[in-house]
Amino acid sequence: MKIGIDKVGFFAPHLYLDMTELAEAREVDPGKFTIGIGQEKMAVAPLTQDPVTMAANAAWEIVDDVDRDAIDFVIFATESGIDHSKSAAIYVHQLLGLKPGARCIEVKQACYGATAAIQMAKGHVALHPDRKVLVLGSDIARYGLNTGGEVTQGAGAVALLIGQDPKIMALEDDSVYLTDDIMDFWRPVYSEMAFVDGKFSNEQYLSFFSRVWEQYKVQNNLTLKDFAAICFHLPYTKMGLKALRTVLEEGDEVVQERLQANFQKGQIYNRNVGNIYTGSLYLSVLSLLEQQDDLSAGDRIGLFSYGSGAVGEFFSGILQPGYKTHLHVSAHDALFAARQALTVAEYEEIFQSGLPTDGSAMELNIDLDPAPIVLAGVEDHMRKYVNKASEGM
């Protein structure tokens, strides 16, 4: 039985900051941000968007009534969760109008969480082939104003529907995965901001990639030439490029050109959204599939997932016939085209604003946010969500 990605939805908030403007404000050569780190724009979440609303908006794009009947498992991967106890998946379940006969959970392992969720989903579908699993990867990446990581922030979500006979990509049973207890990036429960040892994290990312890739080739009897493309977790696009470059020499000139060209297509969305942690690898897959016309059914796409702390995994998927017709290219073009640029001062103001933490109530102006699903405020320690598009659902 083929199991894999049946649908992919994506959402980023309607506000962004241009990295050239950030560079100028921080008195850095813009080339460092746009070339050295490889980021053009970063999505900025207003208070009306949090990890729940972003995930719900990404899923709203793809979930129809047939899916509502089939989805009996929602797995929400995040490292910017809003509650230590209740899973974010339950809010999304309600906002989408999913059936009560469903399991809802949240999973965490830094940026690796959505990959763990997908593998769990595959197991569920293998046992119950008529059912579907909604996997959500949604995060707001915050390192702090004037920090080294500031240029690698972002906000957004990817929603993946996992089922049998998938319309987009069948996932192979070929994973190689690895865990090691390291402190390259973490966020203690008392901190709004992540702590990161950027250089160490880069080294570990490359080391994990090398270790899983070497084992993958042996375990699956495959080599670089068997891949039409390799997509990477992209905390910033240069990170994936560095990883790709470590293996390019294993292929001839044709293979090298193909993988480099496809890497370029697979980083377009990430370059313009920034780091979205759990959804980042799958945003790159989406960027590749939507922006590259030279791929064909049967092509093998490699996926490298990395979550600091750390867990790494390499696996692959096979593109399915007609996959392109099941993507939402024009909706995503429209999403990017409609975004509004912020000045650095406006971004800093949003960054420093926050929801109350003392139990007081706050009402937010949801008319300023064009997204269908928004956070309308906080009352009695509870977030109030609204789905503006759900009338008549």
Q: Which is nearer to ligand COA, 73 or 112 (CB)?
A: 112
Q: Which is nearer to ligand COA, 91 or 306 (CB)?
A: 306
Q: Which two tokens stand for residue 333?
A: 């073009």
Cβ neighbours for 191, distance < 8 A, ≥ 6 positions apart = none
Nearest to 226 by CA among 292, 298, 165: 298
Active site residue 233: yes
CB of 383 to ligand COA, least distance (A): 26
CB of 274 to ligand COA, least distance (A): 10
- Count CA atoms within 13 Å of residue 230 on its CB side: 28
Compute the distance between CA of residue 374 and CA of residue 367 in angstroms, rounded to an integer. Answer: 10
CB contact at 8 A, 96 and 63: yes
Q: Which is nearer to ligand COA, 231 or 371 (CB)?
A: 231
Active site residue 326: no
Cβ neighbours for 280, distance < 8 A, ≥ 6 positions apart = 111, 137, 233, 234, 235, 270
Q: Which two tokens stand for residue 248?
A: 């390019």
Compute the distance between CA of residue 291 and CA of residue 266 in angstroms, rounded to an integer. Answer: 8
CB of 248 to ligand COA, least distance (A): 15
Classify residue 84 as exposed, middle or buried by CB count within 10 Å of its CB (0-12, 13-18, 19+): exposed
Nearest to 133 by CA among 111, 155, 112, 163: 163
Compute the distance between CA of residue 244 and CA of residue 265 in angstroms, rounded to an integer. Answer: 14
Q: Give the strand pairing for 15-18 and 340-341.
A: parallel
User: In angstroms, how far is the first alpha carbon of the chain from the final one?
Assistant: 33
CB contact at 8 A, 287 and 266: yes
CB of 173 to ligand COA, least distance (A): 26
Q: Which is nearer to ligand COA, 73 or 306 (CB)?
A: 306
Active site residue 111: yes
Q: Which two tokens stand for residue 141?
A: 């990446």
The catalytic residue among 14, 79, 93, 172 is: 79
CB contact at 8 A, 164 and 2: yes
Q: Which is nearer to ligand COA, 236 or 385 (CB)?
A: 236
Q: Which is nearer to ligand COA, 274 or 302 (CB)?
A: 274
Compute the distance between CA of residue 76 and CA of residue 176 in angstroms, rounded to an integer. Answer: 23
Which residue has its beta carbon closest to ligand COA?
36
CB of 36 to ligand COA, least distance (A): 2
CB of 29 to ligand COA, least distance (A): 4
The catalytic residue among 14, 93, 124, 233 is: 233
CB of 241 to ligand COA, least distance (A): 9
Q: Which residues bind ligand COA (CB under 6 A)?
A: 29, 31-32, 35-37, 148-149, 151-152, 185, 196, 198, 201-202, 205, 235-236, 306, 308
The catalytic residue among 14, 93, 104, 111 is: 111
Query: Which amino acid type is present at position 373?
Result: I
Q: Which is nearer to ligand COA, 129 or 148 (CB)?
A: 148
Residues with catalytic function: 79, 111, 233
